[in-house]
Amino acid sequence: MTTTAASPAVPLSLANRTIFVAGGGSAGPGWSIGRAACVTYARLGARVCVADRDRASAEETTRLIRDEGGTADTFIGDVADEADVARLFAEAKARFGVIDVLHHNVGIGKTGGPLDTKLEDFDQAQSVNVRSLLLASRQVLPDMIEQGRGALITISSVAGMRYLGYPHLSYCVTKAAVIQFTRMLAQQYAANGIRANTVVPGLIDTPRIANTVAKMFSETSLDDARTARARQVPLGRMGTAWDIANACAFLASDAAAYVTGTELLVDGGLTGKFS
């Protein structure tokens, strides 16, 4: 005698969820990971808190969501400043209620190895990339524990797992820390119904390319930098912000109800190439 599944596949929906996106703006015109994630969450029915220190950029993300009929509001502050973080989350909760999902999407770093990385630059990367995650987690975990559910999504990088051919010490080390931080969150709070996972982007074509990554290559043009990066990827192209946003949407939803404490690589096969 055969049996059928007790329940059908879970649809990808974020209806009635409030998602706080730290880093919901963009480093320049176009689609950053944070902006694409905000819009994707809203398209799936979520109420989106677009948090960033750049008001104009965050407001642009909010406008894009509202123009499509979605629900979002803008929250401006420094995610590495304890007082600012407390204020940001207080304002978000006053506007939309308890935060169901924290999407932590911040990261800075300067090119350089141990001998040419300034201590102040290293400390700043630690503060923005890791300390900010601690501050944000402290804001959302008590309510998630009380509710018996919640999800945290952190954004790391393949640079936090592999050496990709150029020295980027402060960024690599702190993005590795984000992965381990998230693993610890997942284990400690699994019994409370809280899931925590890291999305690990590979070489993604975002506005950040124009600002920083092009300088890491000997070629002078942005097009040359893009071509050089695409050649490194087994799939033959850089990823898009939407590739990452779709992965985040899965982890935020009930479709990922049994996924916690892991890293979702979205890298076109790049990490396997360096195994």
Report the catalytic residues: 171
Round to whole Å and give the CA distance between 34 and 42: 12
SS3 state at 79: coil
DSSP 224: H
Round to whole Å and give the CA distance between 226 and 257: 36
Lookup: tokens for 267: 């890298």
Lookup: tokens for 229: 């990066």
- What HEC string does 101-145 produce? EEEECCCCCCCECCCCCCHHHHHHHHHHHHHHHHHHHHHHHHHHH
Q: Is the separation of the CB atoms in 113 and 216 below 8 Å?
A: no
